[in-house]
Amino acid sequence: MDALDLARWQFGVTTVYHFLFVPLTIGLGVFVAGLQTAWYRTGNDDYLRLTRFFGKLFLINFAMGVVTGLVQEFQFGMNWSEYSTFVGDVFGAPLAMEALLAFFLESTFLGLWIFGWERLPKRIHLACLWAAVIGSNLSAYFILAANAWMKHPVGYEVVDGRARMTDFWAVLTNSTALAQIPHVTGGAFVVAGGFVIAVTGYRILRERGLRLIPGRAPAHEGHSQAMWRTALRGALVMTAIAGVVVAGTGDQSGRLLAEQQPMKLAAAEGLRHDTAGAPFSVVPGVEVPGLLSLLSAHDPGATVQGMDDIQARYEKAFGPADYTPNLPVVFWSFRVMIVFGMATVGLSALGLWLTRRPRLARGGQGRRDRRDRRDGRAARPLPAWFARVCMLALPLPTVAIVAGWLLSEIGRQPWTVQGELMTAASVSPGVSLAEVAVTLAVFTALYGVLALAEGALLLRHVKAGPEEPAAPPALPATAPAGSGEARLTPTLMY
pLDDT tens column, 285-307: 888 999 999 988 888 989 999 99
| Phi/psi at 287 (5° precision) | -125, 150
Q: pLDDT band for position 478 (50/70/90)?
A: very low
Kindly report which listed range (188-197, 205-214, 342-351, 481-490) carries the lowest average pLDDT score: 481-490
Burial level of 116, CB count in 10 A (0-12/13-18/19+)? middle
Q: pLDDT band for position 122 (50/70/90)?
A: very high
Q: How many CB atoms lie within 10 A of CB 255?
A: 15
Mean pLDDT to the nearest integer, 449-453: 88
Q: pLDDT band for position 233 (50/70/90)?
A: very high
Kindly report which listed range (24-33, 48-57, 477-486) carries the lowest average pLDDT score: 477-486
Buried b (16+ CB within 10 A) or exposed e, 202-234: bbbbbbbebeeeeeebeeebeebbebbbbbbbb
Contact assessment for residue 101 and residue 137, using Cβ atoms and an 8 Å cutoff = no
Q: Is residue 345 over pLDDT 70? A: yes
Mean pLDDT to the nearest integer, 214-233: 67
Cα–Cα distance between 384 and 396 in angstroms, integer?
20
Taking all residues of the chain, what is their mean pLDDT, rounded to a whole number?
84
Q: What is the pLDDT of residue 91?
A: 85
Mean pLDDT to the nearest integer, 252-281: 91
Which of these, 212, 68, 185, 48, lies nearest to 129 by C-alpha position?
A: 48
Q: What is the pLDDT of residue 379?
A: 59
Q: Which residues pair with 421 in a beta bridge?
A: 417
Which of these, 191, 195, 182, lies nearest to 246 by C-alpha position?
A: 182
Mean pLDDT to the nearest integer, 29-52: 92
Planar angle of CA 446, 447, 451, nearest 5 degrees: 120
Buried b (16+ CB within 10 A) or exposed e, 50-60: bbbbbbbbbbb
Q: How many CB atoms lie within 10 A of CB 354?
A: 17
Would the pTM count as exceeding 0.85?
A: yes
Q: How many CB atoms lie within 10 A of CB 418?
A: 17
Q: Which residues pair with 417 in a beta bridge?
A: 421
Cα–Cα distance between 78 and 14 in angstroms, integer?
14
Q: What is the pLDDT of residue 384?
A: 82
Cα–Cα distance between 416 and 94 in angstroms, integer?
18
Q: What is the pLDDT of residue 376?
A: 45
Q: Is residue 236 over pLDDT 90? A: yes
Q: Is residue 217 over pLDDT 80? A: no
Q: Is residue 220 over pLDDT 90? A: no
Q: pLDDT band for position 153 (50/70/90)?
A: very high
Cα–Cα distance between 237 and 351 in angstroms, integer?
9
Mean pLDDT to the nearest integer, 374-384: 62
Q: pLDDT band for position 477 (50/70/90)?
A: very low
Q: What is the pLDDT of residue 126?
A: 94
Side chain identity at residue 313, one-letter code? R
Q: Is residue 471 over pLDDT 70? A: no
Q: What is the pLDDT of residue 212?
A: 61
Q: What is the pLDDT of residue 221?
A: 45
